[in-house]
Amino acid sequence: MDPINVDFTHGGEGKGPDKAVTNVYIPPKNAKVKIIVNIIITLAVGAILYYFMLPAFNLKAIEFYMFIGFLCLVYIALTALTSKIALHPEYAPYLRKRSRIPGIIIGILAVICIIGFIIGAQIFRANSYSRLITVEEGNFAEDVAEIDFSSVPTLDSTSANNLAVRTLGNLSDMVSQFVVSQYSTQINYKSTPVRVHALAYGDFFKWIKNTKEGLPAYIIVDMTTQKSEMVRLKDGMKYSPAEYLNRNVLRHVRFKFPTYLLGEPSFEIDESGNPYWIVPIIDKTIGLFSGTDVIGAVVVNAIDGGCQVISTNLNGETKLPTKEFVTDEKWQWIDRIYSATILNEQYNYYGKLSNGFINSIIGQEGVKVTSSGYNYLALNDDVYMYTGVTSISSDQSIIGFVLLNQRTKETKYYAVSGALEDTAQTSGEGAVQQYSYKATFPLLLNISGEPTYFMALKDSSELVKMYAMVNVKQSTIVGTGKDLTQCTENYAQELNKNGINLDIDIDSMSESDSTAEQSKTKEVSGNVTDIRTVVTGGETYFYVKLDSGSAYYKLGVKDAEKAVILNTGDKATFVIDENAKGNIINAASMK
């Protein structure tokens, strides 16, 4: 049945006959049924959108307003579609009426968002922004321990990632199915700075094939010895960002805690090597959408998905329904709850806005900001973010630096004038310019009370070839070497030439370094029960199993030529890392 058209004929001068009046409310056929259908479809679209968008049901979440607003637009679009407004313009009044409530909701949401941003604007809340972080004055010589070769990271994240990729590439049973994921975290593991790398599925179809068992391993890269180890798990990691459906770690946490604002997860392991995902719980502390801070974290067991909420214990209070705090002894192994991005942002608010918003624009008295990069420093079994601080009016030198604890947000500022990190990098590269090496972002070391930039020098293949030390106060004082001992010795000599005498015993440091290296290895012996070979990257690797255990010991021909003539039943002894675990263990040599 065709819709009813209501027409009126107008008389009088200038009025033509049969002029249709389109402002009369005319519902389409089966209007009530169509309304119900539109609502059902809108809810279905909302369910699908929620599954992938994962908005928090929280008034401080801007994505929540976007989610509701989008559903209102979907309902309006469905109403226009089902009423066939393009073919029947006489239904325009009907469409306007049905769109009135969704339109009002969109308007209210827009007003709330605008007001929320205004009341959180820096121009009005400068003092609140500057108090997001508490900064204490630190004593460099006391707070930053003197150089310890056994705990100095010699790699940056890029080099560590390359080592992880190569380690995975050497395992033929895994390289075709998995890749090294983007999720890696520098932590202190058994008092050693390491970077742990999670794996991911090679592609969607490999996820389908392997998701039932989960990710079978993770990779540890020792940042001091540059050794990389694949740690195989008895039970695979069922929960990770690599999962597509319900076991995706953010989706898993969102379904358990629908009102929490969540940050980017980080991958860590506890002191027993068990894998976890640390998902920060975010709060907006200024206005509705500003003043991002971390109030806690959800600790997710990567194998079984078990969740535990812990609080950052701000001022002895918590906004979360938990009695667990990051300061509790059981959570001391966690090294990263605050991301470097949040810490850097909060310190810049402190540096810019402590004397008011106007001062940050005009005059800029006492205004300071962080430098262009950051690195990580291991102190007291915690990981600190290090970055230089410079005056906003000058980018040629630092006026100090800050250390920010990634677990507790403890922040200390150290006043010291000197070269910016990129200047130090240039000095380090210039000392060996004949090799065209590139310097990593510097790490700050305390060498007999002298603040010193330390950096690795890498070739075009991202392999570490040398090391450089640059004095913070005088960037022209540079020492380089092929190892840490030689680098420190040359640096000490350069300082002495400039009238700075170090109270440091290079020989004893070298001996202790050598002893530390030796103590990290052990020997395992037994009769050979199985031998397998793999050719990777043009090199042959042997995987040898002994009757003394279930692990395979891996070594290349270049490390032990005698492996070529090894037969089943022969007795062999392998030199391995004393902490090495897993089904495949890298061997340094064979006897």
State how far the alpha carbon of 424 is from the alpha carbons of 369, 431, 449, 453, 489, in Å: 18, 11, 18, 7, 18
Tokens 């959570």 locate to 331
Residue 441 has pLDDT above 70, yes or no: yes
| Alpha-carbon dihedral sign for residues 113, 116, 122, 123 | positive
Per the prediction, the chain carries an average pLDDT of 85
pLDDT in tens, 121-132: 999 999 999 999
What is the distance of C-alpha 223 from the center of its chain?
17
Q: Who has greater pLDDT, 548 or 413?
A: 413
What amino acid occupies position 21?
A: V
* 3-state SS assignment for residue 84: coil
Residue 4 has pLDDT above 80, yes or no: no
Q: Who has greater pLDDT, 561 or 69?
A: 69
Which stretch of 67-76, 288-297, 366-375 has the lowest confidence by average pLDDT?
Answer: 366-375
pLDDT of residue 474: 87
* 3-state SS assignment for residue 259: coil
pLDDT of residue 122: 94
Query: Distance between CA 272 and CA 306 in Å, rounded?
Result: 17
Per-residue pLDDT band for 242 (boundaries 50, 70, 90) equals very high
* CB 100 within 8 Å of CB 330: no
pLDDT of residue 1: 40
Residue 199 has pLDDT above 90, yes or no: yes
Query: Distance between CA 507 and CA 482 in Å, rounded?
Result: 16
- Give the residue-averaged pLDDT of 61-89: 89
The proportion of the chain whose per-residue pLDDT surpasses 90, expressed as a percent, equals 47
Per-residue pLDDT band for 102 (boundaries 50, 70, 90) equals very high
pLDDT of residue 559: 66
Please give the radius of gyration of the chain, using alpha carbons only, rounded to the nearest integer.
Answer: 31
pLDDT of residue 138: 87
Residue 464 has pLDDT above 60, yes or no: yes
Was domain 520-590 assigned CATH 2.170.120.40? no
- Give the residue-averaged pLDDT of 289-301: 95
Query: Distance between CA 274 and CA 268 in Å, rounded?
Result: 8
- Give the residue-averaged pLDDT of 446-467: 86
pLDDT in tens, 495-514: 888 888 766 655 544 443 44
- Give the residue-averaged pLDDT of 541-551: 85
Q: Which pTM value belongs to this model? A: 0.78
Number of C-beta neighbours around residue 62 at 10 A: 17
Instruction: Give the start-to-end residue ranges of the domains of the chain.
Output: 7-119, 125-152+365-519, 157-331, 520-590
Q: Which of 152, 176, 169, 141 is nearest to 464 (CA)?
A: 152
pLDDT of residue 190: 85
* 3-state SS assignment for residue 315: coil
